[in-house]
Amino acid sequence: MPPGGTQESRADSRAYRGRLAPSPTGGMHLGVARTSLIAWLCARAASGRLVLRIEDIDTPRVVPGSAEQIMDELRFLGLDWDEGPDLGGPFAPYVQSQRGEHYATAIETLRTRGLVYPCTCSRKEIALIGSAPHGELGPRYPGTCRNGPSHPGRPEALRFRMSETPACFVDRVHGPQPARVGDDFVLRRADGVYAYQLAVVVDDIAMKISEVVRGDDLLTSTPRQLELYRGLSAPPPAFAHVPLALGADGRRLSKRFGSRSVSELRAAGASAERIVSYLAHSLDLVLEGQLCSARDLAAEFDVTRLPRSPVPLDDAAIPS
């Protein structure tokens, strides 16, 4: 790829493969259900395959039993998948906590290409450095350990050496995205935990994902991931970042701020059809009050026609 050029994706050159990638930190609230519905519709509209992957790499946040709960909630909404923890498939395991050897192999590949270096800086030190401004992804790392660890003897994290000629890309919802020069980011923490940025790229390569559909809070992470694809000599997928769902208070919808899970809505008497119809209306796919199933929406679905602005959702508006 030419330096600074637009990253070419593999979405147009192969059969469609999408993915559902929930984090098992509790039940699925309406915002996650909405993004999952979009990912499912993208795959089914393309007559493609859909992979379910459990992203439990951040083990301290994992809630026991929530992976099974989310799978049950997806089935209840009519959002099925073709490969995953329960169905198996050629790229098993589909659970990140069981895929450490794949991440270690990727780091060694990047290391041989001069793209990985040890870092002994603490988060506090990075935040206190006057020349390290805060960006959308947190404090920017100023490259303190690029030429050797700043505190020899400390436990070492591993950082990825970002290119000075990052790629731009075209998002299927938000359109052309400019090239952003990013800071070197962590691939593996000092405690041995692999970073989300590494895990999702390695898994999407291994599972041959041709399009990633996710919330647009991750739009700014994409340049980092494109650099990893380049470092691993793998063509990236297409990306479709969908607007976030907001609660009644204007904050990002989350279980932490009282949003009920699909299981709780179901227990209160809400049908799958009513939940799906409410989400579909928020996407301008059906009229308010019009009932539909997920499968009813697939034939005419086009992700490029989705609204680009955040949408408020209120689970109290779904009739029981």
Q: Which residues are known to be catalytic?
A: 255
Does residue 105 contact residue 187 with C-beta atoms inside 8 Å?
Answer: no
157-160 vs 185-188, strand pairing mode: antiparallel
Q: Is 241 helix (H, G, I), strand (E, B) or coil?
A: strand
Question: Which value, in Å, is the radius of gyration of the alpha carbons in the chain?
Answer: 20
Torsion, Cα of 149, 150, 156, 160 (10° steps): -60
Q: How many residues does the chain have?
A: 320
169-171 vs 311-312, strand pairing mode: unpaired
| CA distance linking residue 36 with residue 52, whole number of Å | 10
For the chain, what is the total number of helices (H) and then of strands (E)?
9, 13
Cβ neighbours around 268 below 10 Å, total:
12
